[in-house]
Structure 1
C-alpha cells in the first residue's frame, strides 16, 4: 500500500478526486485511453457495422508493456464511447440496445448531460476504430449523481438508436467479495502520471487483478455502492479508462461487476495507494432495470 504524504489512510483534501476520463477534460486528456499500464496492445479485424470482431495478432512493432497483456479473446460487449471519432471512455453492452458507462463520461463542462447526438459508440472490436458503429438515442445519467465523482452514483446508461447483434454481458447477481479475481478491460494511457501520454492505444488491453479490502480506498469511498480494486502505478486502470468494465468469471462466461470511476485516493498518479474505485454495477441493478424497462442481460 502506498500511503498518502499525509500519513496512512489519510484522505488528501487539497484537490478534488480525479475521474479517469470523460469529455469535459482538456483535449489532450480527452484522447487518453484506458488501462494505464502496462500492457501489450492487440489488433482486431475491421468488420462491417453489424459484425462482431475476432481476436487478431499483435501488430508488427507493438512493444511489450510491464504488468498486463494483450486482450486474449474477443469481448463482444466491450464499447468505446466517442466524440467526433475520438475515444474518451469505455462501456459495456448489457442488452441489444443499452450500454452502461460512468456518469462523468456523459457530463459536460457546465455539469449538464452531453446531448446524445454528440456521442457515438464502437462495440465489440479490440480496435476502437472498428467494430459495430452505434448512434446514441438517449443518455440516462443516474439522478443522484452530483457531478462530484466522490459523491457516488457515477453511472449512466446509453440507449442505442437501433439494436445491435453483439452478445451483451450479464450483470452479476451480487457484489464480489474481497479477494475475488477481477479482469479489467480498456484502451488507454500506458503510464501512470496524468498527462504523460498524448495518444490512446488503438488496441484493447486487459489486466487481471482482485477486489481489495474496503479500507484500501479512501476518496469518499462508499462500500455499499462501489468496489475497491487493487492496482499499483505499474498495473492499474487510469485516465480514459472511465466507464470500462470490471469482470468476474472466465472466458465465455464473464459477468459485469464494475465500471471504472476514479483513483483510490486523491492522487494524480494512477494506482497510488494500491487501489482504483469502480462503481458497483450490481448495486445499481434495480435502477438499471427500471431505466431500461427490464431489458438487461441477467446472470
Structure 2
C-alpha cells in the first residue's frame, strides 16, 4: 500500500549508493491515495484525522496530537514542499470542503528519514492558528508501547479505492490487525529485511491503505500507533501495509514539536 511519490532522484541515489530499496517503492504517477475495501465514516468517529493539502488539493493524511501540532509522514513533506503551499483541513469527513482550513506555520521532518528504505518516515506540522476542539476535532494520544501482533486496529483516509484508481471524496476506514515487526519481516510475507525497527505493519484480507492515505493514522486501543508509510501496491496478500511505528518515534515527535 504505497502512498506517495518516491522521487526518481532519491531512487537513483539509493541505487548508486547500494542501498536496498523496498519492493514497491517506485515512482507513482500521482500523489493521490486510497483506502482499499473501506467503508464510509464520519469525522466524529475519527476526529483526529486531517487532510494535509498542497496547493489547494488533498495530498496526505495526518493526525492531530495537540491544538497546533499535526503528525504526518516525512515523505509527504519532502522538497520542493514549502509552508507556503501547505494547509490542513480538520473537522470534516470531506477532503474538499467543510470543517476548518488552516495554514501551516512550519514543519519538521525526522533527520533520520531515508527515502530509499523509508526508515523514520515521520514529520510534524505546526499550524498558524490553533484548533478549537469539539466533537469533530480532537487530539489523539500517541502510543508509548507497540501493540501486540494480532491486535485490532483501524486506518482511515481519503486515498484511492483501488490501486491506480480514483480517490474518495468521503472519509473511509478499514478494520485491520497489527502484524508485528518480526512477523512482517519473516518468510510469511514478502518484505524480508526491508522492515526496520521504526516500522510496524497491519493487514486484513482485501483491505489496505494506499496512495493518498500517506501520513494518516493507524489506531489501536484508542491510540495512534502508526503513520501510513509504504507498501507493495495495495491489499496484496503477502504484503501488509507498512507504517511508521509511533511508539518507537514518540520521543522524536515530543522533542520536534517544541522546536518546529
TM-score after normalising by structure 1: 0.70
Offset, 1:268: 3.4
Offset, 1:74: 2.9
Separation of aligned partners in 2, 1:116 and 1:80:
15
1:127-276 to structure 2, matched below 5 A, reads 127-129=94-96, 130-148=98-116, 150-165=117-132, 166-191=137-162, 193=163, 195=164, 197=165, 199-212=166-179, 213-214=183-184, 215=186, 216=189, 217-218=191-192, 220-222=194-196, 224-232=197-205, 234-249=206-221, 254-263=222-231, 267-276=232-241
Separation of aligned partners in 2, 1:140 and 1:14:
25
Does the 8 Å contact 1:126/1:203 carry over to 2? yes
Aligned to 2:9: none
1:287 to 1:269, Cα distance in 2 relative to 1, 3 A = closer
| Structure 2 gaps, min length 5 | 1-18
Deviation string, structure 1 residues 153-180 (Cα, Å, up to 9, x no partner): 1111111111101321110121111011
Offset, 1:186: 0.7
Deviation string, structure 1 residues 244-291 (Cα, Å, up to 9, x no partner): 100012xxxx2100001111xxx3354341411110011111111111
1:86 to 1:18, Cα distance in 2 relative to 1, 3 A = farther
Offset, 1:184: 0.7
Deviation string, structure 1 residues 81-138 (Cα, Å, up to 9, x no partner): 111221111110111111011111111xxxx351111111101211112212111111
Q: Which has the higher helix share?
A: 2
1:26-37 to structure 2, matched below 5 A, reads 26=29, 29-30=30-31, 32-35=32-35, 37=36
| Structure 1 gaps, min length 5 | 1-12, 43-54, 56-70
Rg: which structure is higher?
Answer: 1
Aligned to 2:12: none
1:90-109 to structure 2, matched below 5 A, reads 90-107=61-78
TM-score after normalising by structure 2: 0.80
**Matched position secondary structure for 1:144:** coil
**Matched position secondary structure for 2:253:** helix
Matched length: 230
